[in-house]
Amino acid sequence: MDLIWTQTSRRVLVYGLLAGAFILFIGAVGMIAAFHEREVVDRFISLGQLMLMLAPFVTAYYVAGQVAERDQDRPLALVSGVLIGLLTTVPTVILLLFNSDQYRFLLDLTLRLTPFVAATITAWRMHRAGAEAQTALGAWLAIVLLVGIVTFSFALIFEIKGNLRSVLVNINREWVAVVTFDNRGDLMRGLGALALVSTVSGFAGSILYLLPAVPRRALIYGLGVTALIGAFGETARLILQENVDRDTLREIFRRDTLRQNAALALFIISTAAGFLWARYGGQARARFGSLESAQRRAINIIGLVLFVVIMLMLPWLIGRTLSDVAVTIGIFVLMGLGLNIAIGLAGLLDLGYLTNYAVGAYILAVLTSIGPLGLFKGTFTFWMVIPLALLAAMFAGFVFAVPVLRMRGDYLAIATLGFGEIIGKLAISDWLKPLIGGAQGVQAIPKPIFFGTELKNPEQLYYIVLVASLVTLFVSIRLNNSRTGRQWMAIREDEDVATAMGIDTARAKLLAFTLSAATGGVAGAIFAAKVGTVFPNSFTVFISINVLSLIIVGGIASNPGIVVGAIVLIGMPELLREFSEFRFLLYGALLILMMIKRPQGLIPSKIVTHETRSGVKPKLATAE
Amino acid sequence: MARKGKVGETRILESVGMTKRFEGLVAVDSLDFHIPDGAIASIIGPNGAGKTTFFNCITGFYEIDEGEILFDGARINGRSPDQIARAGISRTYQNIRLFNNMSAIENIMVGQEPHLKSSWIGAIFGSPSTRQEDALTEERASELLHFVGLEGKGDMLSKNLSYGDQRRLEIGRALASQPKLILLDEPTAGMNPRETIETTAFIRRLRDEIGITIVLIEHDMRVVMDISEHITVLDYGRKIAEGLPADIQTNLDVIEAYLGRGAAASLEN
């Protein structure tokens, strides 16, 4: 019993404080204040506040799961939920106290005491571990001095500036307002509000875990859908505005925010739907599984047809603004599918994918532009140049692949990264300025004309991206199931053995690089036509990194995964403007999280699922 | 053109003065050897004798420093591993090296590589000849799976197969290229006695039914003496003996290499 208590209490302490540190961190980088600007439900809760509640909620849910599984103790799980809620506030509360005028002395005290406490603890542990008194004393002195210098300089800065903002720029009035739930004037009330909200969230999290499976899943579904639609209120409104009349729209949204009644209705509906799925979904799937293969095939085909119809009608369903986002996503899907040929199929870690994108864009720009840099002033049309852009990108891919054929793994990645940088520098160079305009780039690129109609709207450009993506998808599926695909896979698995099987690996790798480059060229050309101008600063290493990240997040070698990855990594920052400031922070966090928790990606390819299923021991069954 | 060796016997593989050095260490030292066509031949020798290096030289993984390797009468040293594979030599590895994340049948399909002709363009457009070849490749792969006793396991990822199955699949993959010569690197390593007997029988069946020349590196002397018709003994990269199993068993140099000078001397007396 004692053991359980210590283990449980330690777990609660660690996870609670971790969640608290997380809250403090996202506050200190400015996320909470920035996200507070966006309301999830009108005059009820903002995205910033939602994050404050979500941290203890999720942590409590997780820890309650561990406590309930391990100790078979349900009341204990509830208590730990409450404790986690409280603990989550601790780091924030301390910082709030430090930041207030009344309790500033706590900060001074802490800063002054820290060196002595740290030194004493260390010296004491050394002494207990058997170090000589002199050594321990020496260590004590050294630590007091070293840590002292740091803390006293901090203390000095605070003394002069008079607040924390001088060091932590985002610990400002806005942040205080959010975390105290608008009780900036009365700190104690603010702390009380924070503690109350956090504790209730933690408690709710642990209760949710202890519910029976069906209502639990229904609630998670309902809460998730409501929060997601609320957070992406602007997007949701843009979609609805295309399909619903003005008055209904006004009843659902106040400007871009979900109204309270609408949110409640949405929550009830999505929970009910979640309940039905949780209750009967398994049966439905079982019945589908027991169908004859012909019937199953028919259902799959119906699903596919439905999907294609939706994809074809998408611009009408979502309107202009979102179509523009869809085109951007589509361009990245296209690049993702292309790069996946090199990375996913042949296992060639190519970090210079930007090269092909830039080549495609500049070829289209220079050949079709009607501006001063245009070579033919409109004689060439978009449709004539697309194949040229494709061939040029293939050529570039080929040329850059030749020197790296003998390289593998990390070396290949670094070499291709270097090639990407070279292209970026060439684009901005004075040497090529007469041809591609240096930093000014190429302007006045006409839009594609399709049987007399100028495709100038994103709704129309969407179809070009869609067709290009579908063609790429088709080609990559065909190749994947062919002799060429098997050669690539063999090289990915073991290049030496692949050679010993009689595969000309140099040839196969060249082909992978070249075909993968082709798609990049097309994507670049479409991008140039969409934007109408081509600047060198569109072609930074971040393009390569974005494409690589979306493949990893979506799932390597998984085509649906690439689409989902592009929506998450490219679409989300476009749709949620507050995100874009923290885009790379989120990329980093998401990549680390994916690598630890779900290395196979969001929608793993079949092969990788096999791998993780066989390689990793199944986790302890959680509650089902 | 194959040269005549003993009466009624051609040599499928032979080397003249083959030498391979690694920064001062002579791993294979001016080796002259030959493998009779259609034989089951073994390469034996103590650890570090250069047996696997010998395989790597023949298959083109290592470039030899001196000498010549002749396969079917043609010089093959200096050719790349894939060209040598296409010439008709295939191999397995001491520590199994399958394409782990590919299914068993895909492994064998990759093995047929030297006989495949379809191109990526055909694959994209689904040309009739490509489809036909793909279907044929898959059919042959199924037959081979059956031959090595893996029927019904074709769709399993090769790394999920049991150890014995992986060994068999690796041999199946090596057979898929319809080689004239197959090099097996310790095919019974890590097997229990029953599996060893099965594998031995299987190797004999390979030669008898398909007529492939087989060279194996093997540590298990019972296997070696049981199935070999020709044995080459290496020690420190040099050939110390060659011949029929009976000759090797009584060869003093071999006994000395394996058991030390004292054992050889006491046997002599």
Contact (CB, 8 A) for B44 and B233: yes
What strands lie across the sheet with B74-75, from one edge to the other? B25-36, B11-22, B66-71, B74-75
> Looking at the domain assignment, is residue A175 inside a domain?
yes
Please provide the size of chain A in residues. Answer: 624
Considering only the beta carbons, identify the residue of A493, A500, A503 that sits closest to B101: A493
Q: Over the stretch A67-123, which tens digit does the pLDDT of each residue have?
A: 888 777 788 888 889 999 999 999 999 988 888 888 888 888 888 889 999 999 999
Residue A270 has pLDDT above 90, yes or no: yes
Instruction: Tell me whether residue A367 is in a domain.
Output: yes
The answer to whether residue A278 is domain-embedded is no
Taking contacts as CB-CB distances below 8 angstroms, the residues of chain A near B123 are 478-479, 481-485
From A210, A225, A255, give the residue that closes a domain: A210
Measure the CA–CA gap between B102 and B105, rounded to whole angstroms: 8
Q: Could you tell me which residues are beta bridge partners of residue B34? A: B14
The residues near A601 (Cβ < 8 Å, ≥ 6 apart) are A552, A553, A554, A555, A556, A558, A561, A565, A594, A608
Per-residue confidence (pLDDT) for residue B8, from 0 to 100: 38
Say whether A478 and B124 touch across the interface (CB within 8 A).
Answer: yes
SS (H, E, C) B116-137: CCCCHHHHHHCCHHHHHHHHHH
What pLDDT was estimated at residue A486? 94
**Contact assignment for B120 to A486 by CB distance below 8 Å:** no
Give pLDDT, residue B268: 63
- Provide, as residue numbers in chain A, all residues whose Cβ is less than 8 Å from the Cβ of B177: 501-502
Chain A nearest CA to B60, separation (Å): 8
Query: Does the pLDDT of residue A20 top 80, yes or no?
Result: yes
- How does DSSP assign A396-448, residue by residue? HHHHHHGGGTT--HHHHHHHHHHHHHHHHHHHH-STTHHHH-GGG-B--PPPP
Q: Which of A337, A478, A481, A497 to mutate to test the interface with B (most CBs of B within 10 A)?
A: A497
A482 to chain B: which residues are within 8 Å by CB? 118, 120, 123, 130, 134
Decide which of A482, A513, A547 is a domain's last residue: A547
pLDDT at A463 exceeding the cut of 60: yes
| Residue A622 domain flag | no
CB pairs under 8 A between A and B: 102
Amino acid B260: pLDDT: 75
Which of B123, B137, B160 lies at the smallest CB-CB distance from A479? B123
In sequence order, what are the beta bridge partners of B231? B42, B243
Give tens-digit pLDDT for A571-614: 888 887 777 778 888 888 888 888 888 888 888 876 544 444 43
pTM of the model: 0.84
Q: How many CA atoms lie within 13 A of A275 on its CB side?
A: 10
| Contacting residues of A for B91, CB less than 8 Å apart | 500
pLDDT under 50: residue ranges of chain B: 1-8
Say what the pLDDT of residue A279 is: 87
- Looking at residue A414, what is its pLDDT? 92
* Whether pLDDT at A483 is above 90: yes
Contact A502 B82 (CB under 8 A): yes
Tell if the CB–CB gap between B109 and A486 is shorter than 8 Å.
yes
Q: Which residue of chain B is at minimal alpha-carbon distance from A614?
A: B160
Residues A343 and A204 in one domain: no
Structural domain count, chain A: 2
Share of chain A above pLDDT 90, in %: 43
Burial of A295 (0-12, 13-18, 19+ CB in 10 A): exposed
Q: Shortest Cα distance from A486 to chain B (angstroms)?
A: 6
Chain B residues with CB inside 8 Å of A516's CB?
Answer: none
Q: Which domain holds residue A505?
A: 321-547
The pLDDT, as a whole number, for residue A609 is: 45
Which residues of chain B have a CB within 8 Å of the CB of A498?
99, 110
pLDDT at A562: 93
H/E run at residue A364: helix A354-368
Q: For B116-151, what is each residue's pLDDT tens digit? A: 988 899 999 989 999 999 999 999 999 999 999 998
ipTM of the complex as predicted:
0.90
Asked if residue A340 and residue A201 are part of one domain, the reply reads: no
Burial A122-155 (b: 16+ CB within 10 A, else e): bbeebbeeeeeeeebeebbeebbeebbeebeebb
CB contact under 8 A, A502 and B113: yes
Q: Which residue of B has its CA nearest to A515?
A: B120
Taking the CA of residue B232 and the nearest CA in chain A, the distance in Å comes to 24
Beta strands B40-44 and A453-454, pairing class: unpaired
What residues in B contact A478, CB-CB < 8 Å?
123-124, 126
In tens, the pLDDT along A527-556 reads 999 999 999 988 888 889 999 999 988 888
Which amino acid, B90? S
Shared-domain flag, residues A188 and A326: no
- Are residue A338 and residue A462 in the same domain, yes or no? yes
Quick check: is A582 in a domain?
A: no
Tokens (6 digits) for A593: 């999280």
Average pLDDT over residues A364-392: 87
Tens digits of per-residue pLDDT, A158-172?
777 777 777 788 888
pLDDT at A4: 63
Please determine, for residue A187, whether its predicted confidence score (pLDDT) is greater than 90. no
Which of A547, A568, A587 is at the close of a domain? A547
CA geometry: angle A363, A369, A373, nearest 5 deg = 85
Instruction: Mark yes or no for CB contact A501/B90 under 8 Å.
Output: yes
Q: Is residue A304 part of a domain?
A: no
Is B114 in contact with A497 (Cβ distance < 8 A)? no
Per-residue model confidence (pLDDT) at position B269: 59
Across the interface, which of A497, A502, A504 has its CB nearest the CB of B97?
Answer: A497
Please report residues of A whose CB lies closer than 8 A to that of B113: 483, 487, 501-503
Q: Which helix (H) or strand (E) holds A61?
A: helix A47-71
**Structural domain contains residue A620:** no
C-alpha closest to that of A342 among A184, A544, A501: A544
Q: Which residue has the higher pLDDT, A447 or A469?
A: A469
Residue A618 to residue A621: CA distance in whole angstroms: 8
- CA B25 – CA B62 distance, rounded (Å): 14
Is A417 part of any domain? yes
A601–chain B nearest CA distance, Å: 16
Residue A620's pLDDT is what? 32
Nearest residue to B22 (alpha-carbon basis) of B59, B57, B69: B57
- Region A184-190: what's the mean pLDDT? 86
CB-closest option in A486, A504, A610 to B106: A486
